[in-house]
């Protein structure tokens, strides 16, 4: 079912706490084996209570939870803490319209636990860095405008946004890393 070859994630040990709202949290043991502290709930109501009672760094949320589906839980969480990363786990990537509006990433169970692990690493480590770098670029651009300097005069400080979107070095992972994530041999 969720058995996969061993995953070796050098340098990935973390002290991050994940709230896992999943019908069978034992299926997420690979996360704990790779240094994450897990706080678990098997239904949405218990998950929301845990969320309100203790700080967590990210949430792993199963879509099919019974009475409250994962999208309703995600929407409630984002109202309280909009910056908290939520990774939704679903049997299939085809979900009802609007089901993903409050989540940061979707992982199909068929992708396997190594892909979930890499996705959690991404939302905790890479995405916040990209957001911070974007804020710094915006601040630098605004500062340069106040100084009367054009973007062209800024030199290396301000890159062309069109170049940023297509520049491979700004991609979250290289194609080689994505291939290793897919085949279960990822190493960071």
Any idea what the CATH number is for the domain that residue 40 is in? 3.40.50.2300
Say whether both 72 and 96 belong to one domain.
yes
68 domain residue, yes or no = yes
Cβ neighbours of residue 173 closer than 8 Å, sequence gap 6 or more: 118, 122, 126, 181
Number of domains in the chain: 2
Say whether both 166 and 108 belong to one domain.
no
* Residue 126 pLDDT: 77
127 domain residue, yes or no = no
* Residue 93 pLDDT: 75
* Residue 163 pLDDT: 36
* Residue 15 pLDDT: 82
* Residue 127 pLDDT: 67
1 domain residue, yes or no = no
* Residue 177 pLDDT: 66
What is the domain range of residue 92? Answer: 17-121
- pLDDT, block means (10 residues), the chain with 188 residues: 42 76 92 94 94 96 87 94 94 81 91 92 77 50 46 40 41 63 62
Cβ neighbours of residue 76 closer than 8 Å, sequence gap 6 or more: 48
Between the CA of residue 171 and those of 105, 114, 167, 178, what are the distances in Å? 16, 19, 7, 11
Say whether both 141 and 163 belong to one domain.
yes
Say whether both 165 and 103 belong to one domain.
no
Please state, in angstroms and rounded to a whole number, the distance separating the CA atoms of residues 147 and 150.
9
Q: Where would I find the H helices in 43-174?
A: 44-53, 70-80, 113-121, 127-146, 161-166
Say whether both 74 and 152 belong to one domain.
no
Please state, in angstroms and rounded to a whole number, the distance separating the CA atoms of residues 168 and 152.
22
| Pairing of β 37-41 and β 58-62 | unpaired
* Residue 172 pLDDT: 56
* Residue 173 pLDDT: 58
């Amino acid at each position: 079912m969720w058995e996969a070859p061993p995953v070796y994630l050098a340098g990935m040990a973390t002290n991050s706490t994940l709230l896992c709202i999943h019908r069978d949290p034992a299926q997420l043991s690979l996360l704990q084996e790779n240094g994450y502290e897990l706080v678990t709930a098997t239904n949405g109501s218990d998950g929301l209570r845990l969320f309100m009672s203790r700080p967590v760094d990210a949430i792993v949320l199963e879509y099919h939870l019974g009475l409250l589906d994962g999208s309703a839980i995600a929407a409630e969480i984002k109202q309280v803490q909009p910056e908290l990363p939520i990774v939704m786990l679903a049997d299939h990537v085809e979900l009802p319209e609007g089901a993903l509006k409050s989540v940061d990433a979707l992982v199909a169970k068929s992708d396997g636990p190594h892909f979930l692990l890499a996705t959690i690493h991404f939302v905790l480590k890479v995405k916040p860095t990209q957001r911070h770098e974007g804020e710094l670029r915006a601040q630098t651009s605004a500062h340069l405008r106040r100084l009367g300097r054009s973007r062209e005069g800024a030199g290396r400080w301000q890159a062309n946004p069109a170049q940023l979107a297509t520049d491979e070095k700004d991609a979250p992972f290289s194609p080689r890393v994505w291939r290793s994530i897919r085949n279960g041999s990822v190493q960071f």
